Structure 1
């Protein structure tokens, strides 16, 4: 395994524990500059990124490198350096039509290029590559139906489910099948939609925004929950939705929760989004998880015994993304050490990862429910706008627990607490942390 493959495996692990925004912002354009004996040098694009990674992510990078290489690395250094070979920076998506490696599995064995085309679609996300099981068969059937009868059968179609269960795969599979019959298709995340709206309006090019999002036959919007609390974005999307729906243009949307559970989402927009077909993707059962692992092994041309596949599938249950991350680690470590995987070696390789995943299993929803129950208040009041003392303190406690126990970023925590700004989350966390230190001293 060369330096690029090692770094792709490290990035695969880092992705499990960071928000998408932080992952792309800080780890894009990073690479292994040199790996000699027990010292690794990581190349970063600028001094600001270098300082941030050293302060925030050094421990995780160091641990991941040791686990993947199984070498007693003594030192990991960072230096500003421009990547000479652009192909080694293939882990990340961009908005341009370039060849890149899919982040869905971080596949360094299958070197077939993956194209993000002018529609914003990843060419690997197809119905043919989607593993259908009990938890997603209705969602898959509904997606195929809207391609067969766009604007007629289910419009809008809303797919909701937890992180890493295949919503984006299905959403883009709809687009990849639809572009065979029309070129008026557009895929965008809700964050991209918001960014486009803000920048075109500020620049006095509102017409360009309307032309981009309304002159389509099929609009695919990913992670609509991030529109919560963004009044201008919601207003723009409301009118975009109405225009397309009135013209019988198909709209497909994904969310990590039911539309009624999105904080700070305007009622009229929620009503529109929920007016069509709503389908849920649930956790895959063990048979489906094993099938996913078998398919990924086949893609990577790597063989694992059923006993090992069953072990991985039995212990990684909450996300297909986590399942693929575990598989990637197993393959990376054994290839680096040129060894054959056994159940015992796989248990050893995955030990700390499984501990991390158990920590991640504590969700924001769990914390909100427990906090509301403990303080005898409703979740609606807990995440609401009222600022009575008996609500503010439990709210701050919930924010503190989310940061400590769920690995959520501050912006993500803000979204969970009624669509608040990330600075509110930071202030609340610091206040409770400070109070805990005072209590320990007294």
Structure 2
């Protein structure tokens, strides 16, 4: 059956999610698939159940349903599950050297625009709304009233995304437009090369043919008098010809250590700053990134990251990538506790304390069953007294059954003792509750996420 599935799934995803899986049996049309870790269960149910059923039915038309069960004995057990890496080796492709630049027909060298940078996937918030709107306006009408466009802001706030996204948007509308994206450093290198080869006239002529010139990090032109002079003349020629110029820097024009005649030209156009994203914007960025990665991370975890990673977008993405690595490489669901540990490790200040990320990371210990009941009651907003009481209202019955399930399946507490903890209930009642939750977890991804989140917060699973 793996042979049927492998061609339909990207190899990296296939290895991640089907490693150490096995067929455990078939009963009354139900094919039982064993998974090595609890963390893989909800992903299989949400993304691969239908595909697996289709593959199974192609081999055996009597299969009517896929049922998953977690069997930790499958992990790294070659007697029970196939070696998927050996069975499906990576097909080596001839490597083609990657290109970061392109030489245009006019002879100008431009950096290749990243196609993933689009105005549509740029998360807008209070700190960048004006800049994004200005870029949209420029994309609709290059060389119009927002010329030049000057964006400024700190490191990692999205300036490069907006610059390249604007270039991409212009090219989508006008594919024949000569859009050149470069950095001030590369522009300087081209000037130096042209001077050395005595080809300044050709250099100037080439840049006069550009329709849209995008220069990133213009602050690095400081103390480069000849380059500033050439850029000044290039800027003037393009501006007078109604060609669009887009510039970025880490500070406003008035604070740049550049010639006054340059900064006055920058101030002639539209100036927009990009400031540190607020909480809502940071959370929206994380949600969008998680959607792109096609993984599930609990909202409380994303909220925790957004609340404490306040420097810039790069910091957000760096922490999120660590969480994704936990999920994909170690098959561990990120929790508030694990993210707090990651943030503490990434903190460069050796004297910093765990409180800097708002969460202490004490030594792990096994919780008591009383603590399990308290955690469940808090999660579902019901009291412990209600959980152990006689009410059979669903809002109370479900947390009661989940607490019994965790106590039995994760802590190994006997049915009899659990019954005693829940108002001296009969052990058969506990058995029935545990088995019900086991069945529900097979078909309800949301319930599975809730139970796994509780287990991780209690340090009952990694």
Partner Cα separation in structure 1 for residue 246 and residue 268 of structure 2: 12
- When normalised by structure 2's length, the TM-score is 0.52
The structure 2 residue matched to 1:94, chosen from 95, 100, 117, is 100
Are residue 257 (structure 1) and residue 251 (structure 2) matched?
Answer: yes
Task: Indicate the residue corresponding to 1:392 in structure 2.
Answer: none
Task: Indicate the residue corresponding to 1:122 in structure 2.
Answer: 114
Task: Indicate the residue corresponding to 2:237 in structure 1.
Answer: 243
Q: 5+ residue gaps in structure 1?
A: 6-83, 98-116, 360-442
Partner Cα separation in structure 1 for residue 344 and residue 219 of structure 2: 33
Higher relative contact order (CA 8 A, sep 6+): 1
Are residue 277 (structure 1) and residue 270 (structure 2) matched?
Answer: yes
1:210-359 alignment, distance < 5 Å: 210-263=204-257, 265-355=258-348
SS state of the match for residue 233, structure 1? helix
Query: Are the counterparts in 1 of residues 139 and 169 from structure 2 also a CA contact under 8 Å?
Result: yes
The structure 1 residue matched to 2:184, chosen from 177, 190, 195, is 190
Partner Cα separation in structure 1 for residue 205 and residue 267 of structure 2: 25
Partner Cα separation in structure 1 for residue 96 and residue 255 of structure 2: 40
Partner Cα separation in structure 2 for residue 293 and residue 357 of structure 1: 27
Distance 1:278 1:358, change over 3 A: farther
1:131-210 alignment, distance < 5 Å: 131-180=123-172, 181=174, 182-210=176-204
Distance 1:169 1:295, change over 3 A: same
Partner Cα separation in structure 2 for residue 261 and residue 151 of structure 1: 25
- C-alpha deviations, 1:128-157, integer Å up to 9, x for none? 111111111111111111122222211111
Q: 5+ residue gaps in structure 2?
A: 1-11, 13-91, 104-108, 353-462
Partner Cα separation in structure 2 for residue 192 and residue 358 of structure 1: 40
SS state of the match for residue 254, structure 1? strand
Partner Cα separation in structure 2 for residue 151 and residue 297 of structure 1: 36
Partner Cα separation in structure 2 for residue 215 and residue 357 of structure 1: 53
Query: Are the counterparts in 2 of residues 315 and 354 from structure 1 also a CA contact under 8 Å?
Result: no
Q: CA deviation at 1:85?
A: 7.4
Distance 1:89 1:218, change over 3 A: closer
- C-alpha deviations, 1:102-132, integer Å up to 9, x for none? xxxxxxxxxxxxxxx9663111111111111
SS state of the match for residue 248, structure 2? strand
- C-alpha deviations, 1:267-298, integer Å up to 9, x for none? 11111111111111111111110110111111
- C-alpha deviations, 1:367-420, integer Å up to 9, x for none? xxxxxxxxxxxxxxxxxxxxxxxxxxxxxxxxxxxxxxxxxxxxxxxxxxxxxx
Partner Cα separation in structure 2 for residue 208 and residue 302 of structure 1: 51
Partner Cα separation in structure 2 for residue 219 and residue 188 of structure 1: 8
SS state of the match for residue 279, structure 1? strand
Q: CA deviation at 1:188?
A: 0.6
Q: CA deviation at 1:96?
A: 4.6
Query: Are the counterparts in 1 of residues 326 and 333 from structure 2 also a CA contact under 8 Å?
Result: no
Query: Are the counterparts in 2 of residues 330 and 350 from structure 1 also a CA contact under 8 Å?
Result: no
SS state of the match for residue 122, structure 1? coil
Query: Are the counterparts in 1 of residues 297 and 333 from structure 2 also a CA contact under 8 Å?
Result: no
Rg: which structure is higher?
2
Distance 1:191 1:132, change over 3 A: same
Q: CA deviation at 1:260?
A: 1.3
Query: Are the counterparts in 2 of residues 165 and 319 from structure 1 also a CA contact under 8 Å?
Result: yes
Task: Indicate the residue corresponding to 2:452 in structure 1.
Answer: none
Distance 1:241 1:356, change over 3 A: farther
Aligned residues: 256
Distance 1:357 1:172, change over 3 A: farther
Q: CA deviation at 1:336?
A: 2.5
Query: Are the counterparts in 2 of residues 119 and 185 from structure 1 also a CA contact under 8 Å?
Result: no
SS state of the match for residue 285, structure 2? helix
SS state of the match for residue 347, structure 2? helix
Task: Indicate the residue corresponding to 1:362 in structure 2.
Answer: none
Partner Cα separation in structure 1 for residue 110 and residue 155 of structure 2: 26
- C-alpha deviations, 1:324-364, integer Å up to 9, x for none? 011101211343222122111121122121346999xxxxx
Partner Cα separation in structure 1 for residue 160 and residue 348 of structure 2: 27
Query: Are the counterparts in 1 of residues 157 and 313 from structure 2 also a CA contact under 8 Å?
Result: yes
- C-alpha deviations, 1:41-71, integer Å up to 9, x for none? xxxxxxxxxxxxxxxxxxxxxxxxxxxxxxx
Query: Are the counterparts in 2 of residues 223 and 255 from structure 1 also a CA contact under 8 Å?
Result: yes
